[in-house]
Structure 1
Amino acid sequence: MLLGGKALAQDAPDLAGGPNWTPPDLSGQSIRMWGLNYAPHVERYQMLISKFQELTNGTVTLEPQDGSSIVSSALTSLASRNPPDVLCLMGRMSDGLVKQGGLTDVRQSVYGDLGIDNAAWWFPEALGAYSWGEAIHGVPVEGNAHSGVSVRLDLVAAAGADLAWPGTVADADLNELNAAFASYEQMFEFAARLQNKGSSPVIWGQNRQGWELLNIATMMEQLGTNWFDEQSGQFAFDSEACVEALQTLVTKPYELGIESKLGLGHVVNVFAAGQAALGIGNDAAAGEATAVGLSATNVVLPSLVAGQAPKFVGEGGWGFEIPVGAKNEAGAIEFLKFMTTYDAQFIWSGIYGGMTPACRPVAKSSIYAGDGPLSQGQRRLHTAGPNTRFMGHGWDPQINEMVQPIVDLLREGKSTPKDTAAELQRQLTAQQQRFARS
């Protein structure tokens, strides 16, 4: 891989399968970029732009966009025939643009031209978020699977040294099996040991509120059932797999007395407030708790299938796309080629102190090499990357917001797992039908 001989990360790991890009001279050329008007993103855009300009002598002009309207603004720019040359957008937010024929397929112009071995270079979830059938409509820069269990280390220390959990496995021995709890039974027993109902506030064994769709889809995947079929547009919530997922998500931990529905909205808030020993559903819980003075790390969720390495379904992350009709498509293609390189991926992955990378070799980089609990947790989470797939395209994004209220009825004892599964199928199918007609 060529980057003008100026590699950012001198400790770069094995780069086999990566792009072979020679930076062109783009003197006198300008590229318009749209991205999210959000400080951590803007900082990364500027770092990437600076490196790209250094390598190519071209000019990139950043035009930050409001997150609530970036998709509609992109659609408007296509209709007015004045789109940006490069667009930074989540893959799962791009269905409407693809449906309108508004994104360029860069499968050959970027990936093929650079000779990238996609299976070796990318984690499957990340690239899947930009793949529609055989077409690839962008370059990913992150993954977002929420495969972790955030753990309060102060509570572990207080509980004693005889606890069985993945946090005792040495870095050199980590693999896809031992970075995770061996079973849900082991995790529930661990949570029970850590909880303290006599404290103020009460410290529950675990909390799993929020991000229910990903939780349910992941457990259904482990049981061999795809939650949503892209070809037919059909959900599979009316299945035994969904019923078992709901039993594990809610019924069992509530019956064991290690979890209760709390009024803080979702797991990140609950965990950071010190009201749960384990936070499940969003890997950011450990970082947010650390930011307020708690000691926390991440390990990996178990599989519902004994002895099986856990599989996960993720929502993918952000990446870079080229709208159809870009004024400088050739320059935009070079920017996306740059974004496939180790150095560009390394730059982005430093966001938030270390985001789940899209590029496999970056997972071995110095970003995640620290000895602190969060860095150790990130290395455990990376073992799940090869077994994580993207959740699929074509479903109505509003469905995300519909799942928690339905599942909350189960938490409140007003429904059963079987009835909850049926209600998910009924309500989400009706919404998907409305979406398909729109």
Structure 2
Amino acid sequence: MRTTYRSVLAAGAVAVLVAGLAACSGGDTAGTGTGAEKVVFWGSWSGDQVAQLEAQADAFNESQDDYEVTYVPQELVEEQLLTGLASGDVPDVVLWDRYNTPIYVPTNALAPLDEYIDEDGVDLGQFYDQALGELVIDDVTYGIPLLVDNRSLFYNVTALAEAGVEPPTNWDELRAAAEATTVRDGGTLTRAGFQLNDPGLFNMWLTQAGGQMYSEDGETTAFNSPQGLEVLDFWQSMLDAGVYELGFGEGVDAFAEGNVALKLDGPWALSGLDKTDTEYGIVQPPAGPTGDRGAGMGGFGLVIPQGAKNADGAWEFIKWWTTQPENGVSFGEISGWIPANIEAANDAYFTENPKYAAFIETLEYAKVRSRIPGASDVEGKALIPALEKFLAGEVTAEQALSEAQELGDQILADNR
């Protein structure tokens, strides 16, 4: 157990620590007789995912005697963290959406980890560079990558076989397969050929079309372009072909129920699908008109908030989970998620499993979202609302991209 200058535990302050952690976790964290120091772990994962995180915390707890990690789910975990910072009531470690890092570092919400990394000789080269980059701001490391993901193409094996089509590899094949697998009953859509319901994936489609989201200098948007229009024209052609209707399958997993033949989804969907009778396969996302590949890399890291009462325990948990490949693989077996540790991600458990192989292949070219100041607001406040109006038939493709460009450029200017 660490007793370095980094330790936040002063001698004789155990009673204060226990009281503080009890308040943070929302429950009684009084000693269990083991003598282990409590580590409070926050995240936004809920439902079945709680058991997954609890199982991983239990595995860490069983691996050593110094610390005991407890997972406490939180809605809107980032906002809860800011509230906790104001009151001095924060957890020790947080399951963190890496994309939020540039937003929260200026608020002094996250503790730098470079001293831990240097003292323990942690090689950051063992992680996917794109994932690590989202946690490094101005050459300061604020977290360690934990999980990576991308959207690859899921297909219903039975639906494609009945239609006599192969899993698509490009846009034209995707449209043909979607048309062939769409089913209607008296004009009512009963099986969508393709689930075109997530305009937030526009960035991915744009890359496949050979376009880009922002200018090279990052000062203006670049999606209002021939390539951007090509994406929306393709989407419109899918809608015109009747392979999807807005709102179809809402509130349920229509793919798991056999009511969607093709969809873009991530590895988090595997554990749920494997509990159903749906026979499915996964291939890389389809290439664009000129063969360009594109995919987005998302995922989570682990961070330590400023003011954490047991930062040392949090670091030991982070290091155990992220730098020991076998622990990343074991969590993949529990959850379906792919580790950000490259060695773990290339374990035979993933590479020799056809359900994971496409995700691992796609990680070779998947890119994280832009870190340009204001980029998250450009997508969330300008682009996605405009694309939603386009999909609803309220505006044309040209209008949608023009409106998004005007507001997006203003957002970028306000953030410079």
- TM-score, structure 1 normalization: 0.73
Residue deviations 1:81-114 (CA, integer Å, cap 9, x gap): 4433222222223444311122122245327843
Counterpart for residue 21 of structure 1: none
Larger RCO of the pair (alpha carbons < 8 Å, separation 6+): 1
Is 2:368 aligned against 1:384? no
Is 2:332 aligned against 1:328? no
What is the CA–CA distance in structure 1 between the aligned matches of 2:133 and 2:313, rounded to whole Å? 25
Q: SS of the counterpart of 1:105?
A: coil
Task: Give 1:92's aligned amino acid.
Answer: Y
Residue deviations 1:145-190 (CA, integer Å, cap 9, x gap): 21x1221111122233xx443xxxxxxxxxxxxxxx4421122223
Alpha carbons of 1:286 and 1:76: their partners in 2 closer, same or farther (altered >3 Å)?
A: closer
Q: Select 1:93's aligned residue among 100, 104, 114.
A: 100
Q: Select 2:333's aligned residue among 350, 353, 357.
A: 350
Q: Post-superposition shift, 1:355?
A: 1.5
> Could you tell me whether the CA contact under 8 Å between 1:201 and 1:275 is conserved in 2?
no
Alpha carbons of 1:252 and 1:149: their partners in 2 closer, same or farther (altered >3 Å)?
A: same
Is 2:158 aligned against 1:154? yes
What is the CA–CA distance in structure 2 between the aligned matches of 1:98 and 1:224, rounded to whole Å? 32
> Could you tell me whether the CA contact under 8 Å between 1:141 and 1:319 is conserved in 2?
yes
Alpha carbons of 1:285 and 1:96: their partners in 2 closer, same or farther (altered >3 Å)?
A: closer
Q: SS of the counterpart of 1:298?
A: strand
What is the CA–CA distance in structure 2 between the aligned matches of 1:400 and 1:295, rounded to whole Å? 34
Counting only pairs closer than 5 Å after superposition, residues 149-298 of structure 1 correspond to structure 2 as: 149-160=153-164, 163-165=165-167, 181-197=168-184, 201-210=189-198, 212-213=199-200, 215-223=201-209, 225-228=211-214, 232=218, 234-248=220-234, 250-255=235-240, 257-264=241-248, 269-280=253-264, 291-298=275-282
Q: Post-superposition shift, 1:263?
A: 2.3
Q: Post-superposition shift, 1:321?
A: 0.6
Alpha carbons of 1:252 and 1:398: their partners in 2 closer, same or farther (altered >3 Å)?
A: same
Alpha carbons of 1:290 and 1:344: their partners in 2 closer, same or farther (altered >3 Å)?
A: closer
> Could you tell me whether the CA contact under 8 Å between 2:143 and 2:302 is conserved in 1?
yes
Q: Post-superposition shift, 1:271?
A: 2.9
> Could you tell me whether the CA contact under 8 Å between 1:122 and 1:358 is conserved in 2?
yes
What is the CA–CA distance in structure 2 between the aligned matches of 1:268 and 1:429, rounded to whole Å? 36
Counterpart for residue 24 of structure 2: none
> Could you tell me whether the CA contact under 8 Å between 2:94 and 2:303 is conserved in 1?
yes
What is the CA–CA distance in structure 1 between the aligned matches of 2:79 and 2:410, rounded to whole Å? 24
> Could you tell me whether the CA contact under 8 Å between 1:139 and 1:339 is conserved in 2?
no
> Could you tell me whether the CA contact under 8 Å between 2:45 and 2:73 is conserved in 1?
yes
What is the CA–CA distance in structure 1 between the aligned matches of 2:227 and 2:87, rounded to whole Å? 46
> Could you tell me whether the CA contact under 8 Å between 2:102 and 2:137 is conserved in 1?
no
Question: RMSD in angstroms over aligned alpha carbons?
Answer: 3.6
How high is the sequence identity, in percent, across the aligned residues? 19
Alpha carbons of 1:84 and 1:425: their partners in 2 closer, same or farther (altered >3 Å)?
A: same
Task: Give 1:349's aligned amino acid.
Answer: G
Counterpart for residue 403 of structure 2: 423
Counting only pairs closer than 5 Å after superposition, residues 362-377 of structure 1 correspond to structure 2 as: 362-365=344-347, 367-368=349-350, 375-377=353-355
Q: SS of the counterpart of 1:92?
A: helix
Counterpart for residue 338 of structure 1: 320
Q: Could you tell me which runs of 5 or more consecutive residues in structure 2 were left unpaired when the two chains were aligned.
A: 1-33
Q: Post-superposition shift, 1:391?
A: 0.7
What is the CA–CA distance in structure 1 between the aligned matches of 2:252 and 2:368, rounded to whole Å? 22
Q: Post-superposition shift, 1:278?
A: 1.4
Counterpart for residue 283 of structure 2: 299
> Could you tell me whether the CA contact under 8 Å between 2:193 and 2:244 is conserved in 1?
no
Q: Select 1:49's aligned residue among 25, 46, 57.
A: 57
Number of residue pairs matched by the alignment = 379
Counterpart for residue 407 of structure 1: 387
Counterpart for residue 149 of structure 2: 144
Q: SS of the counterpart of 2:401?
A: helix
Q: SS of the counterpart of 1:202?
A: strand
Counting only pairs closer than 5 Å after superposition, residues 388-399 of structure 1 correspond to structure 2 as: 388-393=366-371, 394=373, 395-396=375-376, 399=379
Alpha carbons of 1:92 and 1:337: their partners in 2 closer, same or farther (altered >3 Å)?
A: same
What is the CA–CA distance in structure 2 between the aligned matches of 1:356 and 1:399, rounded to whole Å? 25
Counterpart for residue 127 of structure 2: 122
Counterpart for residue 23 of structure 2: none
Q: Post-superposition shift, 1:387?
A: 1.0
Q: Post-superposition shift, 1:422?
A: 1.0
What is the CA–CA distance in structure 1 between the aligned matches of 2:362 and 2:295, rounded to whole Å? 8
Alpha carbons of 1:52 and 1:43: their partners in 2 closer, same or farther (altered >3 Å)?
A: same
Counterpart for residue 5 of structure 1: none
What is the CA–CA distance in structure 2 between the aligned matches of 1:381 and 1:244, rounded to whole Å? 25
Task: Give 1:376's aligned amino acid.
Answer: P
> Could you tell me whether the CA contact under 8 Å between 2:60 and 2:320 is conserved in 1?
yes
What is the CA–CA distance in structure 1 between the aligned matches of 2:49 and 2:169, rounded to whole Å? 37
Alpha carbons of 1:205 and 1:89: their partners in 2 closer, same or farther (altered >3 Å)?
A: same
Q: Could you tell me which runs of 5 or more consecutive residues in structure 1 were left unpaired when the two chains were aligned.
A: 1-25, 166-180
Counterpart for residue 9 of structure 1: none
